[in-house]
Amino acid sequence: MRLPNVAIVGRPNVGKSTLFNALAGRRISIVDPTAGVTRDRVSAVIQIEDCFFELVDTGGYGLDPDEPLADQVTAQIMQAIDLADLILFVVDIREGPIGLDRQIADLLRRSSGKVLGVANKADTPSLFPLAGDFSQLGLGEFLCVSAKNNINKAELRQAIVSRLAHMKVTEGPAEPLMKIAIVGKRNAGKSSLVNAIAGFERVIVSEIPGTTRDAVDVRVDWQGKPFLLIDTAGCRKTAKMADPLEYYGYVRATAAIRRADVVLLMIDATVPLSIVDKQLAGFIAEQYRTCILVVNKWDLARDRAEQQAYERYLTSELPFLAYCPIAFIVAKSGEGVPELLGLAEELFGQANTQIATSRLNEVLEAVRSERPPSAKTCAVPRFYYATQIGTNPITILMFVNQPRLFDDQYRRFLVGRLRELLPISEVPIRLLVSGRRRSVPTQAAGQTDPVKGQ
């Protein structure tokens, strides 16, 4: 059964995103006094007691027509209204009903049975009587709240549950098979890819740089499996960030990388690799995130270069991600997108591989025999044993006599050989070295493998 859908609607700067974050219990939507900050529909699954629903934040209705993307923002609001089972109509109690509030009320009156009025910014009880002025909008009484100060938040939560009682869902949605973050510089085609996978215009696509500002979570089903796509703001060099909104978008993009199971680094094939591309690639490598280098707009570049030549170009420019597979797509038309999702699923499997301790030590012993670490001092490097202690990223803890004798260069050699000899050739490997223990733990008959059982 689908989750009930609750949409937050109102004119700019009435506190919709603050209310969204307050109900979600965490900072998801960007909150800023600049009108038009929220553009796409930002959503989150909310649980109140035993009731689950999807909460949707929307952009401000009634943006100046001269504002960039005003029509697209309005289209997103209308989609949210059409899909909603309950609409939270948010107004500013301090300003009273104004023209835009009346326009929205006229729009919502046909859906009056599913509208709950919320008079926000009621920071003190002395403001509560002003809510009566909104009765003239013909949508019933408005509940006084202060999203910023959490005043009457519990009352609002109970009102939502009461309105959804007839379609109450007591189980959350199925956990996504994997979380896929889509990152890249501005205008690389990230939102086009999200829409191609979703099958409809879930997020705004525009040639205007910086169209996406929030990190937008989009749940999709692909071949009967639930996935979570995370669309992120396009990044550019920190020194060129024009305002705090760009910084907020960058912070959310890096957070998306950290929480993703697989990262799709979008690269625009029509322009040379940029400093931003390399910085994002470096961050992905530092975080040991499973990654696919996604070369977009290939239809505009295939006449100028062959895929193999472009792959060599990327490998030379991003040597620290040389193990990552490369996918060539045209997000706008959907070319290559099904294959990309299949590749992401395959990498997700690799990143969650459990390697038996015996097999791991067999491989490492063979590699050590092939090329032992060089002894630069009188001490002799000795390898005792290794065990896998984590997945995604594959994390291996190796016990030796003196960790300083196993330098970075030798560790990189070990990681490279592990990729070649084990079924984890396209995912990051974190190799840790410890000098504490000297004996391999034994397994009693019938005892769970310490790696597989963790």
HEC string of the chain equals: CCCCEEEEECCCCCCHHHHHHHHHCCCCCCCCCCCCCCCCCEEEEEEECCEEEEEEECCCCCCCCCCCCHHHHHHHHHHHHHHCCEEEEEEECCCCCCHHHHHHHHHHHHHHHHEEEEEECCCCHHHHHHHHHHHHHCCCCEEECECCCCECHHHHHHHHHHHCHHHCCCCCCCCCCEEEEEEEECCCCHHHHHHHHHCCCCCCCCCCCCCCCCCEEEEEEECCEEEEEEECCCECCHHHCCCHHHHHHHHHHHHHHHHCCEEEEEEECCCCCCHHHHHHHHHHHHCCCEEEEEEECHHHCCCCCCHHHHHHHHHHHCHHHCCCCEEECECCCCECHHHHHHHHHHHHHHHCCCCCHHHHHHHHHHHHHHCCCCCCCCCCCCEEEEEEEECCCEEEEEEECCHHHCCHHHHHHHHHHHHHHCCCCCCCEEEEEECCCCCCCCCCCCCCCCCCCC
pLDDT range class, residue 71, cuts 50, 70, 90: confident
More confident residue, 41 or 109: 109
In a domain, 454, yes or no: no
Of residues 4 and 447, more confidence is placed in: 4
Determine the pLDDT at residue 74: 83
Is pLDDT of 154 > 60? yes
Same domain? For 233 and 254 the reply is yes
pLDDT of residue 378: 65
Same domain, 239 and 304: yes
pLDDT tier for residue 39 given thresholds of 50, 70 and 90:
low
Q: Over 90: is that where the pLDDT of 67 sits?
A: no
Residues 183 and 276 in one domain: yes
Nearest alpha carbon to residue 13 among 46, 48, 37, 29: 37
Number of domains in the chain: 3
Identify the domain boundary among 124, 146, 167: 167
**Mean pLDDT over the full length of the chain:** 85
- Condensed to tens digits (0 to 9), the pLDDT of residues 248-288 reads 667 778 888 999 999 999 999 999 999 999 999 999 999 99
Over 70: is that where the pLDDT of 448 sits?
no
Does one domain contain both 262 and 230? yes
Bridge partners for 266 per DSSP: 184, 294
Give the type of residue at 266: M
398 falls within a domain: yes
Read off the pLDDT band of 236 (50, 70, 90): low
373 and 237 belong to one structural domain = no
Q: What percent of the chain has pLDDT over 70?
A: 84
What is the chain's length? 454
- The answer to whether residue 22 sits within a structural domain is yes
Averaged pLDDT, 67-88: 84
Give the model's pLDDT for residue 447: 37
35 and 138 share one domain:
yes
The answer on 315 and 204 residing in a single domain is: yes
pLDDT mean over 27-48: 68
One domain for residues 150 and 23: yes
Residues 226 and 89 placed together within one structural domain of the fold:
no
- What are residue 37's DSSP bridge partners? none
Answer yes or no: is 441 within a domain.
no
Report the C-alpha gap between 449 and 454 in whole angstroms: 8
Range(s) of the domain holding residue 276 = 178-351
The CATH number of whichever domain residue 65 belongs to comes to 3.40.50.300
Are 140 and 255 found together in one domain?
Answer: no
pTM of the full predicted structure? Answer: 0.78
Does 429 lie in the same domain as 322? no
Q: Is residue 238 part of a domain?
A: yes
User: 150 and 119 in one domain?
Assistant: yes
- Residue 303 included in any domain: yes
pLDDT at 29 over 70: no
